[in-house]
Amino acid sequence: MSATSQSPEVPARGKRADALRNQQTLLAAAAAVFVTSGVEAPIREIAARAGVGIGTIYRHFPTRADLVVAVYRHQVEACAEAGPTLLANAASPLAALRQWVDLFTDFLVTKHGLANALQSDTGGFDALHTYFVDRLVPVCAQLLDASVDSGEIVPGTGPYELMRGIGNLCIGRNNDPAYDPRRLVDLLLRGLQQPR
């Protein structure tokens, strides 16, 4: 191939990388807005936080359900990727678990509006739930196992059990904006710690 036939590919790849980066920025902004304002937050609020126009959001995500599902997947991936990084860099396995649970709690606060956003698409919701379990349970298991091995928490709590418990504590926020699930999740994590 000649140099001239290759040159158009370079900008195209650059644009794809830029578009992907922009989409990730948009999804992070939408996730932050959903945590504070719920999945019914105005699109203009998300656009302002992302530093883009409303049209940019609709170009990437034609419906609110498309945006909510994309945020859901983005947050699952962020939680899955954060676990090993936190474990490698935190002061202790328990500190890594606590930081990961904070991310997971943010995700769950967003997730509770997912069913309403998908309305009657129960098959789509079920597929997303399976994806969530498959990606996050092994990460939680790794963090729990490391915390048990370090002697920081008592053995016997399964990862799905812990995640389900955290999820149940996060549900109360839907009906009461004054409800703070983080305080209760902190109490739950303290209950797992080895007595000193």
Q: What DSSP string describes the chain?
A: --HHHHTTHHHHHHHHHHHHHHHHHHHHHHHHHHHHH-TTS-HHHHHHHHTS-HHHHHHH-SSHHHHHHHHHHHHHHHHHHHHHHHHHHSSSHHHHHHHHHHHHHHHHHHHTTHHHHHTT-HHHHHHHHHHHHHHHHHHHHHHHHHHHHTTSB-S---HHHHHHHHHHHHHGGGT-TT--HHHHHHHHHHHHBPP-
Q: Which residues pair with 193 in a beta bridge?
A: 153
Tally the residues of the chain: 196
Hey, what amino acid is at 11? P
Assigned token pair, 15:
């644009």
Residues contacting 19, CB < 8 A, separation 6+: none
Which is nearest to 96 in space by CA: 165, 146, 136? 146
User: CB of 70 within 8 A of CB of 20?
Assistant: no
Cβ atoms of 181 and 172 closer than 8 Å: yes
Q: Which fold does the domain 64-196 belong to in CATH? A: Tetracycline Repressor; domain 2 (1.10.357)
Backbone angles phi, psi at 44, to 5 degrees: -65, -30
Domain 1-62, CATH among 3.30.1490.190, 3.40.50.2300, 1.10.10.60, 1.10.10.410: 1.10.10.60
pLDDT in tens, the chain (196 residues): 444 444 343 444 455 777 777 788 899 999 888 877 877 889 999 999 999 889 989 988 998 888 888 888 888 999 999 999 999 999 999 999 999 999 998 788 766 565 555 555 556 667 888 888 999 999 999 999 999 999 999 999 999 999 999 988 887 666 777 888 889 999 999 999 988 7
Domain range list for the chain: 1-62, 64-196
